[in-house]
Structure 1
Amino acid sequence: MRGTLYIVAAPSGAGKSSIVNAVLARDPNIRLSISFTSRQPRPGERHAEHYHFVSAQEFEAMVEAGDFFEYARVHGDWKGSARQSVEPFLAAGKDVLLEIDWQGARQVRSKVPDAVSVFILPPSRQALESRMRTRGQDSEATIRQRLDAAREEMSHYGEFDYVIVNEVFDTAVEEMCAIFLASRLRREPQVARHSRLITALLADEG
């Protein structure tokens, strides 16, 4: 049975990575796809754990070679999900989560129409700005740029299957876990998972 592809997107500062990490810690049945990026690592980020950090030239060579499942230019840098990080696991029946932006999500949906997509919103624009500043990793100019970009990103929430408002962190984590559980209980994957049981239950014993 082929695995399910999950897409999670959000504007910068909405708490996407924190929610995803908390969900992954609770749900061992989902594998996170580690994205490639051409930007420099932020403090505390490690290669092959948070991202695969490559040069812009290396990234563009991978694009030319058709190595990416999806890719986009985000805040002036390239970011994408390599096919080898996604397709083999789906084919083996494993669920894969893509933590990407709306541009990448649009590309993925065109290739995998049955992907399950989730968009995370902040409780207010003030909260979004506060979270960006609390990280203490970006300059004032970068923060203003990200706030402007966030409004554009949030305008695409309607392209996603589910929307979570990250007001209370623990609640947002519970809601995302509920989405994954409900997805696994859909008729088609349940029929594939329990085909023998269903056949036995419906067998004519007369």
Structure 2
Amino acid sequence: MYELKEREMIFVFTGPHGAGRKTVAEMSGSTLGIKQVISCTTRPQRPTEVDGQDYHFITAEQFNEAQAKDEFIEVTRVNDYLYGIKNSDIEKIFKSSGSIYLILNRFGAETLQALYGDHVVRIFIYADRDTLEQRMRESGDSEELIATYLSHYEDEMAYREQCEHVFENVDLAHTVFDLTKTLDQYLNRNLLELD
């Protein structure tokens, strides 16, 4: 497992599916110069996804082989698919960046928090159930998939009490602005506020 240096931080974006975690994380990360660690998954790639950008899409055999070699620091099963974070991916990005971010479900967030303690800051991004359902429909998710994601909504929402920061993502620009200011406090970059 990678040993974090004193000022190295891991920001974990979590929350219910459809809340905009990925978009908020990418925009905030880009503004602050924080690099993302991409998870591996056995889930099939969706038409709008890019391998190596959204996930590292690998076969169940490749995943099991990597797991047998103890390459993952965290493994989660969601809807019969495996997700994992490779220790080597974390180490590689920390070599070029003082902080990293990941987009994980609550189980992955808890695992990283248990491993790295105060170096992990969990950011919970959410929206109300109706908004999530509308966003999933607009992105072309099937009714079956929407029902599956919404069946986890209450469990996902309950996790917000354990996160260090909570943001309701109704207005994307507003959410990213507030979040960037919050994360900057951890990075001590002293970004100037421009009116």
Q: Write the distance in 2 (CA, Å) between the matches of 1:44 and 1:36.
A: 17
Structure 2 residue corresponding to 1:26, chosen from 23, 31, 49? 31
Amino acid at match of 1:144: A
Identity rate, percent: 26
Deviation at 1:57, TM superposition (A): 1.9
Counterpart of 1:183? Answer: 186
Q: Deviations over 1:103-159 (max 9, x none)?
A: 00111111100111111111x2111111111101x2211111110012211111112
Unpaired runs of 5+ residues, structure 2, are: 191-195
Could you tell me how far 1:32 is from its partner in structure 2? 0.3
- 1:17 is matched with which residue? 22
CA distance in 2, matches of 1:71, 1:94: 24
Q: Displacement, 1:25? A: 2.5
Amino acid in the other structure paired with 1:15? G
Residue 80 of structure 2 is aligned to residue 76 of structure 1: yes
Aligned counterparts of 1:14 and 1:76: Cα–Cα separation in 2: 22
Q: Tell which structure's C-alpha radius of gyration is larger.
A: 1
Change (3 A) 1:15 1:93: closer
Spell out, residue by residue over 1:30-84, the C-alpha distance to the aligned partner (whole angstroms, 9 max, x if none).
1100110101111121211221100112112212211112120112211111111
Contact map agreement 2:29 2:101 (CA 8 A) in 1: no
Cα 1:57–1:4 change in 2 (3 A) is same
TM-score, length of structure 1 as denominator length: 0.83
The Cα of 1:93 is off from its aligned counterpart by 5.7
Matches of 1:92 and 1:139, distance apart in 2: 39
* Equivalent residues in 2 for 1:114-129, closer than 5 Å: 114=118, 115-122=120-127, 124-129=128-133
Contact 1:71 1:78 in 2 (8 A): yes
Moved more, 57-66 or 94-103: 57-66
Q: Please provide the CA RMSD for this pair.
A: 1.9
Using the size of structure 2 for normalisation, the TM-score is 0.87
* Aligned residue in 2 for 1:197: none
Answer with 47-56 or 92-101: which moved more.
Answer: 92-101
**Counterpart check, 1:8 vs 2:6:** no
Whether 1:168 aligns to 2:171 is yes
Q: Which amino acid aligns with 1:108?
A: L
How many residue pairs get aligned? The number is: 184
Say if 1:99 and 1:142 are closer, same or farther in 2 by CA, change over 3 A: same
What secondary structure sits across from 1:79 in the alignment? Answer: strand
